Amino acid sequence: MIQFLKNLFGLTPEVNYKELLQSGAQVIDVRTSAEFQTGHIKGAINIPLQGIQSSLSKIKKDKPVITCCASGMRSASAKSILKSNGFSEVHNGGSWMNLNNKIK
């Protein structure tokens, strides 16, 4: 059951987010603008979840994408939206704070 949930939300231990970033991955923070203003990962692009469908052109399809939010729920939805729109390498980084700790 735990592995199922990890797979569902893309929280797999084998993903090395630091290496992904070093290879040019984009971090898409899908929290609201107000949430983003309270703190975020350096270099992250803020595209609130409700606007991600209309902002697909702001995200490069030829680079890996890491989505993040406050807890991992919205970033899981964003990952699904991106995958259904032809983005091939999308990872749910979960909580932006946890992701930030993993990439330091």
> pTM for the whole thing?
0.86
Ranges of the chain with pLDDT below 50: none
For residue 27, the model assigns a pLDDT of 98
For residue 13, the model assigns a pLDDT of 56
Distance CA 88, CA 64 (A): 8
Q: What type of residue is 10?
A: G
Q: How many domains does the chain have?
A: 1
Range of the domain at 90: 2-103
Residue ranges in 1-95 assigned as alpha helix (H) = 2-8, 17-22, 33-37, 73-84
For residue 100, the model assigns a pLDDT of 95
CATH of the domain at 77: 3.40.250.10
For residue 11, the model assigns a pLDDT of 55
For residue 104, the model assigns a pLDDT of 87
For residue 49, the model assigns a pLDDT of 98
